[in-house]
Amino acid sequence: MIPTISTIPIAELASGDILSIQVYKFVGAKPGKKAYLQANLHGAEIVGNAVIAQLIEFLKTLDDTQLAGEIWLVPTCNPLGTNQRSHHFSSGRYNHYDGKDWNRIFWDYEKEGEDIAEFAKTQLDLEPSQIRQNYRQKIKNCFDRAIEKIDKPSSVSFSDRYRYHLQGLCLDADYVLDLHSSTNQSIDYLYCFQGQEESARYFLLDASILFNEYDGNAFDEAFLKSWLALESEFEKLDRTLKLDVESWTIELGSGMQIDPDSVFRGVRGIKNYLAYKQILDISGFPLYQSFSQKVEFTPKSRVKGYYSSRGGMIRSRVDLGTCIQTGQLLYQILCFNKKGRLPEIIDVRAEASGRVFQVSTNHAVNEGEYVLGVMELSDK
Amino acid sequence: MIPTISTIPIAELASGDILSIQVYKFVGAKPGKKAYLQANLHGAEIVGNAVIAQLIEFLKTLDDTQLAGEIWLVPTCNPLGTNQRSHHFSSGRYNHYDGKDWNRIFWDYEKEGEDIAEFAKTQLDLEPSQIRQNYRQKIKNCFDRAIEKIDKPSSVSFSDRYRYHLQGLCLDADYVLDLHSSTNQSIDYLYCFQGQEESARYFLLDASILFNEYDGNAFDEAFLKSWLALESEFEKLDRTLKLDVESWTIELGSGMQIDPDSVFRGVRGIKNYLAYKQILDISGFPLYQSFSQKVEFTPKSRVKGYYSSRGGMIRSRVDLGTCIQTGQLLYQILCFNKKGRLPEIIDVRAEASGRVFQVSTNHAVNEGEYVLGVMELSDK
Amino acid sequence: MIPTISTIPIAELASGDILSIQVYKFVGAKPGKKAYLQANLHGAEIVGNAVIAQLIEFLKTLDDTQLAGEIWLVPTCNPLGTNQRSHHFSSGRYNHYDGKDWNRIFWDYEKEGEDIAEFAKTQLDLEPSQIRQNYRQKIKNCFDRAIEKIDKPSSVSFSDRYRYHLQGLCLDADYVLDLHSSTNQSIDYLYCFQGQEESARYFLLDASILFNEYDGNAFDEAFLKSWLALESEFEKLDRTLKLDVESWTIELGSGMQIDPDSVFRGVRGIKNYLAYKQILDISGFPLYQSFSQKVEFTPKSRVKGYYSSRGGMIRSRVDLGTCIQTGQLLYQILCFNKKGRLPEIIDVRAEASGRVFQVSTNHAVNEGEYVLGVMELSDK
Amino acid sequence: MIPTISTIPIAELASGDILSIQVYKFVGAKPGKKAYLQANLHGAEIVGNAVIAQLIEFLKTLDDTQLAGEIWLVPTCNPLGTNQRSHHFSSGRYNHYDGKDWNRIFWDYEKEGEDIAEFAKTQLDLEPSQIRQNYRQKIKNCFDRAIEKIDKPSSVSFSDRYRYHLQGLCLDADYVLDLHSSTNQSIDYLYCFQGQEESARYFLLDASILFNEYDGNAFDEAFLKSWLALESEFEKLDRTLKLDVESWTIELGSGMQIDPDSVFRGVRGIKNYLAYKQILDISGFPLYQSFSQKVEFTPKSRVKGYYSSRGGMIRSRVDLGTCIQTGQLLYQILCFNKKGRLPEIIDVRAEASGRVFQVSTNHAVNEGEYVLGVMELSDK
């Protein structure tokens, strides 16, 4: 199968140069669902590019009868972020022009003030596929009105232009997969929305953060929230509706690195998920271990970041992935001072038991900087 | 009058050096209201420091019988922001560590889930001064619980530490004045909350943006919102309560500059406001022109930013302060390209009439960068 | 006359996007000299782009019989620098990857260890035009060997790749004009090599810094030094040789701005210079005032930068362009402190008389930051 | 032994806060040589701080009779660099204000135009210790004249102020040890000046880069060059003079990390070196393995950096420390594009055999960015 490749200019720079994104579209012989994958929305998080490159290689080997529906892939989806450097490092988590986090800028249908409850009432007797189509059209109409602002003389900020480009590619998707990594050092895990736990297993990762709170306007949320809202409105009308629209942020290892193990797990999980969703018809998939895969779901409210209470140098830190007990020594801070005193060493201990899923790349900390993250166990 | 000066360490750096803020407190011979002033929360916005320096000079010349209550002044209130450089420029609008806007990080009592409606009911029969005191205590208790997190092993991020330092200084203030400037080039104006229009006149500035929407967690909002919420709860209980608690963001001219005219207007307005509020008893104040001062209030929803629809160089832009008509040429973009074509020039015209209150310092623009801001006239 | 326009890719970014430079070549009907102009080597210095855009417009109106030789123009010659932002500001004076000043990276034939003295001896009896041609070939051969390194597996750093791109365009030029501005606020002036004073007048600017020392590897120096070295070798051999190869850095006003006056003076001066050099045959040029134009040449060793001896805020600074006397108040520093003391004000006075030709855009200074520059008068 | 601790303010910031360096001085009971150690001159290179902290702990356990002479230690010697962040990373290799590399700013006596040859002639008949003392005084006098500039109204740039602070601490040292790490990932090694090879062994590291060329104004060079120049002048006068003044840059592992192995090797090597130099009298030192220690000296001209010839993502790179053969695959570049083509993979092979001593932390590369460094074997 050969993909259709389209190139979309997204930023004319002051110099007259243009940055683009490029979409690789594989279209199956049979109709079906649409999966949308992108990678590298944050500048340092490059693993997903290697995953997508391998998926493209793999999909090229398939026959189009093995694909039902469409798979769209967008590697290096944020050129401004990917190419940004501060010294040798990839500092592109936020836009250096305005400080905006590249993954907190997305358009959220729910905030447009449309009456979803009213819409739900009009759809009560319809089939899910029809409802999906109608709602998608409704979202699309609203989106089209929103982007009209771009063409006015006052236009919109770059963040707004950019979000319309990316979201315009996946408004009609069924499954959205946004491939991230940690800014720092991390295990592989994924973010899971409530109600998607069953599907989550097919990514074959053993750790997941379960959204029980949102911090707003992330790509995965911006796509899914309006669908969750619709399902919730049906719930109120006493109809349980499952629309099979899903959104995933998959976290593959550490920033600025391409760990082959993370790439392997990323590719395997995505193939498995697409087979489970019957987009891909590939031999042996879904893998038999999918059915016994254990995923530890940690609610987001139980994910705890440890921030340094002092300025200094981190030492003796527990390793990434360690399971820790309450009271266990997590790390020490070597503190210098400019007050004529000797250096001192501060112990920092675990507040609760859990798993260290993330550690900072930088072992120097100003007061209040990030040191590590723990997926805490529940109290039971 | 000699101020009490206290120095508060706010950041131990990785090197062992410490950054502090310093509070100059003038305490009057008579009890009264507390005014809290700070400057330079955003790194480039330095005019307020000169205003505060002049106010300190002025207050030193007063007798303590001329002051009822207290005036607290905090110049260079954000050392990390003030000292940050990128090339010769002050890039400290956001924290370079995490991209967070220094003026969108503040603690908001309203979001803590306390039952303000319930509280209002318990206070229905009390005097405003008693209600003020009770509510202040209630906020303080909640704040004290929130800051306990700092002392846990996981502690909190620098933004959270820092906000508690600043807000801890003014939780019990009656009047909060946060002195800002534009990042870019700007006229002098102020932000006004609804219901404060009468007081606004005493700053003797002719332009004001009236909050009819919030973008959240700014210093002025974080202070005032809970008080507005309480007043609103009383309204629902059919009691009109005016607590005389006010919050102001005063915008004094352009970034990275100290324009003596902006300093003059800042000092004059603040003295006049403090006299009007009967904190200062100074001859000739409030100035007679206060009573005839015209302020053009533009609702925030009618403030329009113009963003460049192309990458290139801005030319022929209207001057700062210009009153413009719909359709008038606002600026041109000189666009180069890397496609073998000649340069071109794009005209950008006004969408609506109004006053250009802000223009970008930088005449080079990548697509979607800010060019100018207009306080638009209403349609009538 | 219609230019030939060629586009040269100079940087493939991590995202797969490509940045280019674009050369506009006007070729006359008659043979003659080659003038090479570029603009915006430092990211904030955008005035030259507007100058080049106007020159292109002007040259288009000419008939090719009015041009002898060639004029090559390269606006926005450094896309990485031009597009770089830190907050709203153009921070592209140096490469954020390695800190290298974009105008200190150029290839210097003299440092390649070639024996120029020996070469001079072989050319003693030849005509200047023949010597020019032979020497150019010699430089070109050396340059070609140097760029071979690019194609090795270890390749070269971006700075080295980039310099070869730009210098490859003008190795065979007779006149090189590099259009800069100040990072800060500045008057219009130009840098003049010794021996070029007569030509300098034709730019119709009244101030010039005369090189009596180099700080190395700037674009203008990298082009001209080898020619000066050859002339000097001839001098030792008792032949005075004037090869009429010239190099200029023209400083047009302030950074991040496009002042129409600076554009006007830039365009006028360049047209006048090109007419004087008989590349352009345009009515009325060289302008009659060229002959009476006074240029104040200040040796580089008499250009003095004032750096702040304290951290604080600059106030009461003399205006740009002011002629100052020894002992005159130049500026004050408003110094805050974190030691429980009142703010203080420091006076800074002129060490010598002269002209303030540059002032910092930023009025906040950390200790040792730049405040202003003076072209000092000689002691006589 | 208890150190004397002195704190030296080095930077008053715009906010009025002050950054300092702090010197820990251990003074022995007997007279002797002076060793000066500093760490963290480049912001990301923090390992040396942990080494110095451990040395302080160790020296505290000694009796002052075990120390002949003095040991001065300066951890976090560059607060501006140490505390600088761009996103979570330590970007402080160069000053963000002017792009200057913090280790290319130092004062070089040789460039002050003093007549060292003339001085040598006056010292021909003296003892080395007397010559050392006389020359040191001569350098000191010149240095004192140079720093007078600081107190003039025009003062000096921050780099110049800062260099005088640091160099003023070690002008009279016999041994200077500057503890660095790689910006990227690195093995432990040291820089060795010619003639110091014998001493180098005592650091017990197996790899060393031998200076056969300088790139100028680094801290180690700025200290030692004038002494090498004096020895060289004596050589011309037919006297072989060894003054036992030494300067070392010790590279301990990777940036932003504190690898305990690197700390161990740093502490062990420095103790061993100081025992060898008879400053420390500690049991068992110098360690017996010092005498059999093999150091592979690679001339600086045989250290080769590999820069990416394409933009993209690095994969399949050889591990740090690998010994490679000519033609061996070193790494691949996964290249995306925005021209409608499939991604491609580029192989990069070794130009010569050697040891990979450094690899980039960041696996994303814009064209011309650093990928790895090789200490190449000689051709024999």
pLDDT digits (tens, 9 = 90+) for B130-156: 999 999 999 999 999 999 999 999 999
* pLDDT of the residue at A378: 80
List CB contacts (< 8 A) between C97 and chain D.
366, 369
CATH number at residue A245: 3.40.630.10
Is the CB of residue B173 less than 8 Å from the CB of residue B72? yes
**Angle of helix A219-236 relative to helix A158-170, nearest 10 degrees?**
60
Last residue of a domain, one of D232, D265, D294: D294
Q: Are residues B341 and B240 in the same domain?
A: no
Note if the bond before C286 is cis, omega within 30 degrees: yes
Q: Are residues A240 and A336 in the same domain?
A: no
Q: Are residues B160 and B20 in the same domain?
A: yes
Q: How far is CA B321 from CA A96, A154, A258, B185, B363, in A?
A: 28, 18, 52, 10, 17
pLDDT category, B379, cuts 50, 70, 90?
Answer: low
Distance CA C189, CA A201 (A): 69
* pLDDT of the residue at A159: 97
Q: Are residues B331 and B232 in the same domain?
A: no
Is the CB of residue D324 less than 8 Å from the CB of residue D350? yes
- Which residues 324-343 on chain C approach chain D with CB closer than 8 angstroms? 330, 335-338
Q: Give chain A's end-to-end CA distance (angstroms, integer).
A: 51
Question: Residue A13 is nearest to which of C22, C79, C87, comparing CB atoms?
Answer: C79
Average pLDDT, chain B: 96
The secondary structure element, H or E, covering residue B320 is none
Is the pLDDT assigned to residue B113 strictly greater than 90? no
Residue-wise pLDDT for D83-121, tens only, equals 999 999 999 999 999 999 999 999 999 999 889 999 999
Average pLDDT, chain D: 96
* pLDDT of the residue at B380: 47
Q: Are residues D368 and D259 in the same domain?
A: no
Under an 8 A CB cutoff, do A14 and B365 touch?
A: yes
Last residue of a domain, one of B294, B325, B342: B294
Is the CB of residue A159 less than 8 Å from the CB of residue A95? yes
Strands B207-210 and B296-299: parallel
Is the pLDDT assigned to residue D373 strictly greater than 60? yes
Residue-wise pLDDT for B256-292, tens only, equals 999 999 999 999 999 999 999 999 999 999 999 998 9
Chain B CB within 8 Å of residue C7 CB: yes
Q: How many CB atoms lie within 10 A of CB A305?
A: 14
Length of chain B: 380
Mean pLDDT of D295-301: 96
pLDDT category, B322, cuts 50, 70, 90?
Answer: very high
* pLDDT of the residue at A379: 63
- Which residues 292-321 on chain D approach chain C with CB closer than 8 angstroms? 304-313
Is the pLDDT assigned to residue D54 strictly greater than 90? yes
Which chain B residue's Cα is nearest to D44?
A: B14
Distance CA C55, CA C77 (A): 16
CA of A152, closest CA in chain C: separation in Å? 22
Strands C18-27 and C68-74: antiparallel
Chain B CB within 8 Å of residue C88 CB: yes
CA of D84, closest CA in chain C: separation in Å? 14
Under an 8 A CB cutoff, do A342 and D5 touch?
A: yes
Q: Are residues C216 and C315 in the same domain?
A: no
Tokens of D372: 């790895």
> Which residues, other chains included, contact B87 with Cβ-Cβ below 8 Å and sequence gap of 6+?
C44, C86, C89, C91, C92, C93, C94, C183, D96, D97, D98, D99
Question: Residue A94 is nearest to which of B11, B99, B307, comparing CB atoms?
Answer: B99
Is the pLDDT assigned to residue B215 strictly greater than 90? no
- Which residues 228-247 on chain C approach chain D with CB closer than 8 angstroms? none
Under an 8 A CB cutoff, do B368 and A157 touch?
A: yes
Q: Are residues B45 and B63 in the same domain?
A: yes
Residue whose tokens read 């908001």? B108
* pLDDT of the residue at B229: 94
* Residues in chain C where the model's pLDDT stays below 70: 215, 379-380
CA of D339, closest CA in chain B: separation in Å? 14
Percent of chain D whose predicted confidence (pLDDT) is above 70: 99
Distance CA C308, CA C92 (A): 23
List CB contacts (< 8 A) between C95 and chain D.
99
Which chain A residue's Cα is nearest to C95?
A: A87
Distance CA A357, CA A323 (A): 9
Is the pLDDT assigned to residue B191 strictly greater than 50? yes
* pLDDT of the residue at C213: 76
- Nearest by Cα to B50 from B181, B173, B150: B181
Distance CA C177, CA C252 (A): 12
* pLDDT of the residue at D41: 98
Structural domain boundaries enclosing C152: 4-294
Q: Is A310 exposed, middle or buried, given 0-12, 13-18 or 19+ CB atoms closer than 10 A?
A: buried
Q: What are phi and psi of B105, to 5 degrees?
A: -120, 10
List CB contacts (< 8 A) between D21 and chain A.
338
CA of D18, closest CA in chain C: separation in Å? 8
Question: Residue D97 is nearest to which of C158, C159, C369, comparing CB atoms?
Answer: C369
Chain A CB within 8 Å of residue D280 CB: no
SS3 D232: helix
* pLDDT of the residue at C121: 96
Chain D CB within 8 Å of residue B17 CB: yes
Q: Are residues A191 and A331 in the same domain?
A: no
Q: Which chains touch A (3 or more CB pairs under 8 A)?
A: B, C, D
Is the CB of residue A376 less than 8 Å from the CB of residue A354? yes
Q: Are residues D98 and D210 in the same domain?
A: yes
Residue-wise pLDDT for D316-333, tens only, equals 999 999 999 999 999 999
| Torsion region of B183: left, alpha or beta (phi above 0 gives left; psi -120 to 50 gives alpha) | alpha
Interface with chain C: mutation pick from A8, A13, A17, highest number of C CBs within 10 Å: A17
Is the CB of residue A303 less than 8 Å from the CB of residue A297? no
pLDDT truncated to tens, each residue of chain A (380 aa)?
999 999 999 999 999 999 999 999 999 999 999 999 999 999 999 999 999 999 999 999 999 999 999 999 999 999 999 999 999 999 999 999 999 999 999 999 999 988 999 999 999 999 999 999 999 999 999 999 999 999 999 999 999 999 999 999 999 999 999 999 999 999 999 999 999 999 999 999 999 999 987 767 999 999 999 999 999 999 999 999 999 999 999 999 999 999 999 999 999 999 999 999 999 999 999 999 999 999 999 999 999 999 999 999 999 999 999 999 999 999 999 999 999 999 999 999 999 999 999 999 999 999 999 999 999 998 64
Under an 8 A CB cutoff, do B311 and A100 touch?
A: no
Under an 8 A CB cutoff, do C82 and B370 touch?
A: no
Q: Are residues B86 and B216 in the same domain?
A: yes
Alpha helices in chain C (DSSP H): 47-60, 79-83, 116-122, 128-147, 158-170, 197-200, 219-236, 260-276
Q: Are residues D11 and D66 in the same domain?
A: yes
- Which residues 91-110 on chain A approach chain B with CB closer than 8 angstroms? 93-95, 97-101
Which chain D residue's Cα is nearest to C158?
A: D368
Is the CB of residue A312 less than 8 Å from the CB of residue B16? yes
Is the CB of residue C4 less than 8 Å from the CB of residue C25? yes
Mean pLDDT of B350-356: 98
Residue-wise pLDDT for D178-200, tens only, equals 999 999 999 999 999 999 999 99
Last residue of a domain, one of D294, D327, D347: D294
Question: Residue B15 is nearest to which of A95, A336, A369, comparing CB atoms?
Answer: A336
Q: Are residues B313 and B200 in the same domain?
A: no
CA of D51, closest CA in chain B: separation in Å? 15
Interface with chain D: mutation pick from A59, A88, A257, A336, highest number of D CBs within 10 Å: A88
* pLDDT of the residue at D380: 47
Distance CA A187, CA C338 (A): 43
- Nearest by Cα to D222 from D149, D142, D341: D142
CATH number at residue A311: 2.40.50.100
Task: Count helices and strands (H / E) in chain B.
Answer: 8, 18
Residue whose tokens read 């005449």? B363
Under an 8 A CB cutoff, do A85 and D366 touch?
A: yes
> Which residues, other chains included, contact C51 with Cβ-Cβ below 8 Å and sequence gap of 6+?
C39, C179, C252, C263, C266, C267, C270
- Which residues 356-375 on chain B approach chain A with CB closer than 8 angstroms? 364-370
CA D41 to chain centroid, in Å, comes to: 9
Q: Which DSSP string do the residues of B178-245 spell out, in sequence order?
A: EEE--SSEE--EEEE-TT-HHHHGGG--SEEEE-SS--S--HHHHHHHHHHHHHHHHHHTT-------
CA of D5, closest CA in chain A: separation in Å? 5
In total, how many domains does chain D have? 2
List CB contacts (< 8 A) between C312 and chain D.
12, 14, 16
